[in-house]
Amino acid sequence: MESAFVSRSSGILLHPTCLPSGYGIGDLGPQAYRFVDLLAETGQVYWQLLPLNPTSPETGNSPYISSSGFALNPLLVSPELLVVDGLLDEAILDAIRVPETSRIQYRSVHSAKLEILEKAYKAFLNKWSEFAGDFEDFCARNSYWLEDYAVFAALKEEFGLPWYRWPEGLRRRVPEDLGSRRKGLERAEFQKFVQYLAYKQWSRLRERCRRRGIRIFGDLPFYVSHDSADVWACPELFKLDSEGKALFVSGVPPDYFSKTGQLWGHPVYDWERLRETRFEWWMRRMEHNVKMFDLVRIDHFRGLLAYWEVPANEETAVNGRWVKAPSEEFFKTLRGRFPSLPFVAEDLGVITEDVEAAIKDLGIPGMKVLIFAFDGKPDNPYLPENHEINSVSYTGTHDTNTVRGWFKEEATEDVKGNLFRYLGKTVGEDGIAAEMVRLAMGSRSRLCIVPIQDVLNLGSDARLNVPSSPLNNYLWKLAGDLLSKERLADFAQITQESGRSRMQYG
């Protein structure tokens, strides 16, 4: 595990879509480079992201409900970098620039980005000889996922329906039927081009991170969307009926976030079939993420031991059941493929002893979230003194309220009293985020990650996601001058005082 971590370090959680932007949504362009520089200048080592996979307004823009477990989100493509590559005229930038806001208008952004990418594709075809070698090399290296994704995305564009409602021959991937859709398959080349752009820009950003000593902490969703290239290409790996419809869907039982549980709606895995393949699909997905990121959070880690399975016709997650997964064999295979195990387990919620034992046996860190710490119980695992060294401390996560919002709107008087006793003083709404950041950064956890909202002391209007609500999530973004070295100065000081600054060990 030592190879995956820099000793006693810290970082910031900020999804790229939340970066400031004059084009409606944050991307992999100049503002991302500026943020990398800010991380380095404030002594940080890690930049934690949410999944970078494609999103859709129809599924609430969630990066955890994606049409691909491998593709990058086209919305992350930077118009400015297309100009640098000679694929977009600079004059177009003024025409597509929009007023800066703190909310992403996804439908208009989707439309605008598609128009930009279409223009870039025409320029790309006109300059084919300039790009051909690099493009063909990218397609060859990524063929194991790109071919299926590109055809899927092209057919999805043509029909506008989930794949399990396509004509039978296409639904079942009959070669003759796929071959007859010549127009759709031509559009597949456009989809490959979009992925080529996205990965090219991602590679450049990663190189900037390496030069500045910043490590990228990625996020691997446990499930993939039913309407995804992955399920369409490998339906046998999921519990589906003969027509491709889900028999059971994913979720979790009632918990902190919802009294009726969370009904996520992904099709659940057929783990027996996965076992027969020596978990090859999962291993390829893991390998893909390990290549992309320096550290990978495995979302819903407990699902690798047992998962909550809900009949597809249920309206809530209450009437589900726990089903065991072949975890021992899976973890043995995982160790064999990735000996350094550069993973972090998302182990929040109700965690059983077998899950705790598996995390300890693998030697990977779990998560310690500070806003869950102050129920008054001395053995609460989220209290800073109870953090193991091999863990990642957080003030909150993308699924929780901001610290300021939590303190104002959710924390009970008892919880506030416990917190004040712990701090040894009473703190108001204006100062609570800084106090919680100091506690998280001062803990024994080897790594501390603070959401940018808590670094900047923002309220609940900056909350990114409400897990029990399907609406109005993943809309927030930074606007104006919120992201600056001056505004991060206090955080830089806390980083230094807690012995986490990269500048303290070179």
Instruction: Kindly report the backbone phi and psi dihedral angles of residue 123, in degrees, each rounded to the nearest multiple of 5, phi listed first.
Output: -65, -40
Token pair in block for residue 311: 């009949």
Q: Are strands 306-311 and 343-345 parallel, antiparallel or unpaired?
A: unpaired
Measured distance CA(342)–CA(487) in Å, rounded: 32
Structure tokens at 146: 């790109």
Instruction: Answer for the pair 205, 241: CB distance below 8 angstroms, yes or no.
Output: no
- Output b/e per residue, 120-146; b: 16+ Cβ within 10 A: bbeebeeeeeebeeebeebbeebeebb
Contact (CB, 8 A) for 264 and 310: no
Q: Which residue matches tokens 């820009």?
A: 201
Helix (H, G, I), strand (E, B) or coil at 413: helix
CB 455 within 8 A of CB 18: no
Does residue 388 have an active-site annotation?
no
- From 219, 230, 399, 435, active-site residue: 399
Q: How far apart are CA 439 and CA 431, in angstroms?
A: 13
- Is 45 in contact with 37 (CB distance < 8 Å)? no
Tally of CB atoms within 10 A around 473 = 17
Task: Please compute, for residue 488, the number of CA atoms within 13 A of its CA located in the half-sphere on the CB side.
Answer: 24
Fill in the DSSP letter of residue 472.
S
Q: Which amino acid makes up residue 9? A: S
Residue 379 a catalytic site member: no
Residue-level length of the chain: 506
**Among 474, 482, 481, 439, which Cα is nearest to 458's?**
482
Among 148, 346, 347, 435, which one carries the catalytic annotation? 346
Q: Is 346 a catalytic residue?
A: yes
Structure tokens at 157: 């564009």
Active-site residue, selected from the candidate residues 41, 80, 158, 299: 299
Give the Å distances, CA to CA, from 497 to 263, 286, 426, 443.
42, 36, 22, 12
CB atoms within 10 A of CB 85: 16
Q: Which residues, 6 or more positions from 25, have their beta carbon under 8 angstroms from its beta carbon?
A: 17, 75, 104, 106, 109, 113, 477
Catalytic residues: 299, 346, 399
